[in-house]
Structure 1
C-alpha cells in the first residue's frame, strides 16, 4: 500500500507584509488625457491618490519587500517555507514564474513555487491552496503573495480603468494552528463574461501591428456583477464558516471601487462594529495585491483587530472569484 502524508488539522495566517509603489499619483496628474476631473474620479471610485512604482522597479521587487516583512513578522526562517505562491498578472515574462525567482531571492529555495493567474481573486485563491497544502501535509508553511505593477499596462487615455490602477505587493505567511484560522473557501468562475476585463489586444495581434496591449474593462458589466453576484458569494462564505455578519471584526473586499465596497457592506447588513477596508482611497486598485495590502493597513491602524474574524473576497478578470473568513494575526 502506498504511504500517504498527513498534515495539520488547522491553519491560520501568521503574518502580513506590504510594499507599495514609491510615487504618490494624485487624480490631477491623470485627468488631462481622459478629459475628466479630480471630483469625477473621487465620486466614481473613491480614489484620491494611488501609489505607483518607478520605471526601474518590477513587481517582483515589490513582492520581495512584502515577503521579507511577512516572514520576519511570522518569526520563521525562509528555509521553513515549503511553497511560494505568487498571484500576478503583471510579471514581465510569460515564463519562468515570478514565484521561483522570489523563492530564490528570499532564500526559500528549494520550495515549490508557481504563479497564479486569477487577477483580483488571486490572493484568495492562494490562501485556499495554502490552507489545503498544509492540511494535506505538502508543506508546513506557505508564502502567499499578490504582486502587481499595473502602471506597466495602463493606457493614459483609457477612461474605463487606467485611473483606477496602482502598484504594490501584499504577502501572507500561512502556517499550522491549534485552532481553525481559515474557513472553507468559496470560489469559482463565470467565463460567460470572459471579456469584461482584460487586454486590448493579444500578443499575436500586437506583433501584426496592433497597439501595445493595455488593460480595459466594461465598467457597468463589472459593477453589476460585483454588486449583485459577489454579495451572494460573500454570504455563502459567511454561512460556510458558521459566522454571522455581526461576528466579524473586519470586512476586506478587493479594493476595486469605493462604491462597490460600500454597496457590499450595505447588502451584507454589516453593523457599525465591523471595520471596513478602504485602502483604495490612497493606494488605488492593485488587483491581486489589494486584499493583503488592505489587511496589512487595517492591522497597522487598528491593532485591536488582531484575533478577530475577517471576511475577505476577491473578484476580477475571468471573471473569477474567491472568498473566505479568516482569523486576523
Structure 2
C-alpha cells in the first residue's frame, strides 16, 4: 500500500477479551487493613473486581495472548495478515511472577499467534496505553504505511493490591487506589474504513507532563512487591479535567462541528470509580450536552482494569445489548501523565 491509495479513515474491525478466573469482593480486599469496606465502597462504588490466579499461571502475558486469539477468532483476517502488533500493558508479568521487558510482549504474542512477519513493539502510557496504540495504528493506516494491525493488553494490576494491603495506613494513604484495580485482557484489530457505518471519525491525544508525579508505580521500599502512589484528589481536580474539555472542543472544531451536536449515543470514560465516571459525565453534560449521551460503566464489578478499562466497558455493554450496532460512541481516554484523549467512532459491523 502507498500513501496514494491510503484510506482517509480507519475503523475497529474486531475485538477480543480474556478475563481472569478469580473474583474478589471489596470486603475481601480490605480484610486485615485499616480501611473499611463500607468506606471504600462509598468512595468508589466498586463492589468486586477480577484477579489473576497466579498459581494457575494467569498473568499479563496469558491474558493478552488469550485476548489476541479471541480477537482473531472473530476477525476476517488471519494472524499472518497483521502488519503490526502493539502491546500496551502497564504491568508486564509472566507466568513465573516476573516483570518482563525483553523480549517485547508484542513479539511474544505475535510469535504465539503466528503473526511472524508483523512489526512488533510495546508502548507504555499508563491507563491510556491501548488508545496510544490505536492512535499509532490509525496514523500509520491513513499514511498508507500499513494496512492493519492489532493492539493488545493484558493487565495484571492486582500485583499492586497485595503490597497495598500490607502497607496502607488508612483512607488518606496514597496507595488507596491500589485497592480498586482489577485484571483483564483486551485486543482490537484496526484497519481501513470504507463505510461511515464503521469508522473512527476523529481521534487526538495530548499529554500534560507537569502532572506526571501525581501517580507513580515503583518497587516498594517496605515489601517485595510493587506499589502505586496516587494523589487522586489533585489528579482529578477540575482544572485537570479542563484539559479534556479543551481537547474535545478542538477535535470537534477541526471536524466542523461542536461537541453539543447530536449524534453520540454513549460516552465512555476511564473506569477509575463509579463516582469519577458520574462526575466527569455531569461535567461534560453541563458544558456540551443539554441531553447527554449515556455513560456506560463496569467499574462497579470489574474495578479499574488499567489500559483495558474503556474497551472492556464497550465490549461488555455491546454484548449485553446496551450499546447497539450503529451507535456512535465518544471515548475519553485518560491516564497518569496526565494523558487525555478524545475518540469518536461509529461501530456497526465490527466483530465483538
- CA RMSD in angstroms comes to 2.3
Kept in 1: contact 2:314–2:323 (CA 8 A)? no
C-alpha change, 1:138 and 1:222, in structure 2 (3 Å) is same
Q: How big is the shift at 1:179? A: 2.9
Distance in 2 of aligned mates of 1:196 and 1:153? 17
Q: How big is the shift at 1:272? A: 6.2
Kept in 2: contact 1:5–1:138 (CA 8 A)? no
- What are the superposed Cα offsets for residues 179-235 of structure 1, whole Å, 9 maximum, x if unpaired? 351133221112211111112458xxx6xx986431121111112165443343344
Distance in 1 of aligned mates of 2:342 and 2:150? 18
- What are the superposed Cα offsets for residues 132-187 of structure 1, whole Å, 9 maximum, x if unpaired? 11112222111112321011233224342121111111111111221351133221
Distance in 1 of aligned mates of 2:225 and 2:36? 26
Question: Which secondary structure state, in structure 1, belongs to the residue aligned with residue 333 of structure 2?
Answer: strand
Tell me the residue number matched to 1:105: 112
C-alpha change, 1:177 and 1:250, in structure 2 (3 Å) is same
Find 2:267's aligned residue among 248, 251, 255. 251
| Structure 2, gaps ≥5 residues long | 93-98, 169-174
Find 1:221's aligned residue among 234, 257, 260. 234
In the TM superposition, what are the counterparts of 1:18-33 in structure 2 within 5 Å?
Answer: 18-33=17-32
Question: Which secondary structure state, in structure 2, belongs to the residue aligned with residue 65 of structure 1?
Answer: helix
Distance in 2 of aligned mates of 1:168 and 1:219? 22
C-alpha change, 1:226 and 1:214, in structure 2 (3 Å) is same
Q: How big is the shift at 1:274? A: 2.6
Q: How big is the shift at 1:112? A: 0.6
Distance in 2 of aligned mates of 1:102 and 1:147? 11
Kept in 2: contact 1:6–1:135 (CA 8 A)? no
TM-score for the superposition, normalised by structure 1: 0.89
Moved more, 95-104 or 314-323: 314-323
Q: How big is the shift at 1:8? A: 2.2
Kept in 2: contact 1:186–1:236 (CA 8 A)? no
Distance in 2 of aligned mates of 1:292 and 1:4? 29
Mapped pair 1:131 → 2:145: no
Distance in 1 of aligned mates of 2:303 and 2:116? 33
Distance in 2 of aligned mates of 1:17 and 1:295? 11
TM-score for the superposition, normalised by structure 2: 0.84
Find 1:96's aligned residue among 81, 100, 103. 103
In the TM superposition, what are the counterparts of 1:134-153 in structure 2 within 5 Å?
Answer: 134-153=141-160
Distance in 1 of aligned mates of 2:63 and 2:245? 31
Distance in 2 of aligned mates of 1:53 and 1:272? 40
Distance in 1 of aligned mates of 2:283 and 2:250? 13
Kept in 1: contact 2:47–2:301 (CA 8 A)? yes
C-alpha change, 1:259 and 1:153, in structure 2 (3 Å) is same
Question: Which secondary structure state, in structure 2, belongs to the residue aligned with residue 184 of structure 1?
Answer: strand
Count of aligned pairs: 322
